[in-house]
Amino acid sequence: MTTTVRTRVAIIGAGPAGLMLSHLLAQSGIESVVIDQRTRDEIESTIRAGILEQGTVELLDTIGPASRARTVGHRHDGIELRFEGEGHRIDFADSVGRAVWLYPQHEVLKDLIAARLAAGQDLRFGVTADGVDDGDRPRVLARDADGVPVEIEADFVVGSDGSRSVARAAVAGARNGSFREYPFAWFGILCEAPPSSEELIYSNSPDGFALVSQRSATVQRMYFQCDPDTDTAAFSEEQLWDELQKRVPGTTLRQGPIFQRDVLRFRSFVANELRRGRVALVGDAAHTVPPTGAKGMNLAIADVRLLAAALRAFLLEGDERLLDAYPDTASRRIWKAQHFSWWMTSMLHVAPDATAFDRRRQLGELRSVVESEHGRAYLAEAYCGWPLDA
Ligand code: PHB
């Protein structure tokens, strides 16, 4: 007994990309069904990234007061790059007249889910996609939480189902994509303590990279470079503070009980194909970046903005040109973000096989950036986000 649902756009994955797409489509009167295998609670409580580009915040403004990015989130007008024990501020406002917002991804998801449900969006949690059938009426083959088969038949299917995308097989096939792995990862902690610094600190030290970030007035998020196979249980709290503190010389970290630990593996990936026929990929289903440049969620939102415009032209006017252009147009920004994320990563981390030459060269690179108006502007422009329509 299969339940069949018909809609215009079937969206697999209720992450930032899928939910934002359903919102933009609804603004043009295009109905969609969004499914996600996770429960609402899982989606709203999984700790992910924290930085929103200005353009992402502006797009979130269009969901109305449901977006708390500007009220609960914090505008940051700069970051600090730290090396050789000294901090160097990259002043975004001064360099590019833009800013970013520190507002955790799970809070963005709470806002988007609340706004979509209030608007009557067909949003189904606990529904797992098993595959996508391409064709003039593509179908998502799925199962609900009780294992009952559900088929969603649509004019178009969008895979916003993350790095383990099921939709990718229908688009990129066996020819997967470009891939790079890194010989290090991040050990992330959440702790109960007020911020150690007003702005984020990206610190390069002889012992490896560390990032001092925040979540709220009482919770801090911090990371330090570690081996990808590190066991989170292998460190005592005291050892974690030692590791963090020695990588941020010059700043005294405010310590407090650590209530979450995780290891984030570093990958760069871009799928070879972003669209085939009536199926397209957005967000992590299409690409992955290491977290150093804070580009992941922002890139997903940028994809969606392009795809929403393309679907509008296709479904409302029968004009396929923007859809045909989508892979090339999206790829330009994707590869800029790939480069930026790789560049920030390689400039700030200490590779396990780094020679004395590599180390000095890296410090030379950092110095070329912070001591140059143009170097700082280059970093600031990428960090705050390139214009969305370019
Ligand atoms: C975070 O706060 O989780 C965060 C901030 C900046 C990054 C990566 C992660 O580049």
In ligand 1, the atom with minimum distance to the C-alpha of 221 is 2
Per-residue pLDDT reduced to its tens digit, 47-92: 888 999 999 999 999 999 999 999 999 999 999 999 998 999 999 9
Per-residue pLDDT reduced to its tens digit, 341-352: 999 999 999 999
Per-domain boundaries in the chain: 3-75+100-178+268-351
pTM (2 d.p.): 0.97
Q: What length is written for the chain?
A: 390
CA-proximal residue: ligand 1, atom 1 (nearest): 50
Query: How far is residue 98 from each of residues 233, 340, 346, measured CA to CA in Å?
Result: 40, 17, 25
Per-residue pLDDT reduced to its tens digit, 251-287: 999 999 999 999 999 999 999 999 999 999 999 999 9
Classify residue 311 by burial, with Cβ atoms within 10 Å: 0-12, 13-18, 19+.
Answer: buried
Q: Cα(56)–Cα(38) distance, rounded to whole angstroms?
A: 24
Per-residue pLDDT reduced to its tens digit, 95-141: 999 999 999 999 999 999 999 999 999 999 999 999 999 989 999 99
In ligand 1, the atom with minimum distance to the C-alpha of 47 is 3
CA-proximal residue: ligand 1, atom 5 (nearest): 50
Query: How far is residue 284 from each of residues 97, 106, 274, 287, measured CA to CA in Å?
Result: 29, 16, 11, 5
Residues with CB under 6 A from ligand 1: 49-51, 200, 211, 213, 221, 291-292, 294
- Over range 296-300, report the average pLDDT: 97
CA of 202 to the centre of ligand 1 (A): 10
Testing ligand 1's pocket by substitution, the residue of 79, 90, 211, 295 carrying the most ligand atoms inside 8 A of its CB is 211
- CATH top-level class for 3-75+100-178+268-351? alpha beta
Query: What is the tally of helices (H) and strands (E) in the chain?
Result: 11, 21
